[in-house]
Amino acid sequence: MSAEEALIAAGVRIVDAGLSPGSSGNLSIRDADRILITASGTSLGRLTAGDISVIDLDGTHVGGIRPSKEWPLHVAFYRRDEAHRAVVHLHSPYAVAWSCLEPWAEHSAIPPLTPYFVMRVGQTPLMPYRHPGDSSLGTDLLASPWKLRAALMANHGSVVAGKDLDDAVDRAVELEEACRIALLTATTKRRILDEAQVCELAAEWGSPWGELADVN
C-alpha cells in the first residue's frame, strides 16, 4: 500500500469510528524526508490523492495542495522521535471534552483508569491553549519535557503518533476511550491504578509513564 493509500484508508477508519466530526482532523505519514499530510477542510472519510499535500521536515510546502494549518503539530512529533512515522490529530468529542478540564497530573492529563490506556498510549500531557493553526502548537509539543506519543491540547483535541498509521489510529481510538471513561467516572469515587501497577504495565509494554524526554 502506498503512503497515499494508507492515508485514505486511515481516514475512512477514523470517520467510521465516529472520531472526525464534519471536516475536522488531519493525518500525516512520514515517507523518508517527506511528510504526506491531509489538507484543511477535507472530510477524512472521503479523501482522494488530490487532498494530500507534501511538506518537508521543516514544514516547507513542496508539493500538492496546501497542507493543513495544523502541520506544526505533525512536524513536531517527527522531530521529537525518529520512531514516529505517522500522526493523527482529531477533534473527537470525548478528547475535546476532557481537554476542557484541568489535567489530572502534569505528566498526564488523563488518569490511569484502565491498563489499556497505559499499555497502548501512555502518559498524555495537556498542552497550553493556542488558537487553531498557531505555530506555537508545534513549539509546545516539541518542547514538552515528557516522553510522549500522545498529547491533549487545551480546549482543542488530541494528537497521537505511531510507528505507522494503523498504530497511530489504534492509539487515537484508545485515547478517546480513556477520555470517555474518565468523563463517565468523573463525579464518582473512582479507583485508579496505583503507581506499582502502572509502572509494571509501562515497563512490560514499553509505554511512557512518568518519564522525562531529551528534547532540544
Residues annotated catalytic, as ranges: 70, 116
Q: Any residues with CB less than 8 A from the CB of 205 and at least 6 apart, and which?
A: 118, 119, 120
Beta bridge partners of 126: 152
What are the phi and psi torsion angles at 152 (to 5°)?
-105, 145
The DSSP call for residue 49 is G
CB 115 within 8 A of CB 87: no
Cell of 13: 477508519
Strands 52-56 and 86-90: unpaired
- CA–CA distances in Å: residue 19 to residues 104, 120, 170, 175: 23, 18, 12, 11
What are the Cα distances from residue 184, in Å, to 45, 91, 130, 180?
28, 19, 27, 6
Q: Which residues pair with 89 in a beta bridge?
A: 26, 159
Gap between the Cα atoms of 109 and 126, Å rounded: 5
How many whole angstroms separate alpha carbon 84 and alpha carbon 91?
Answer: 21
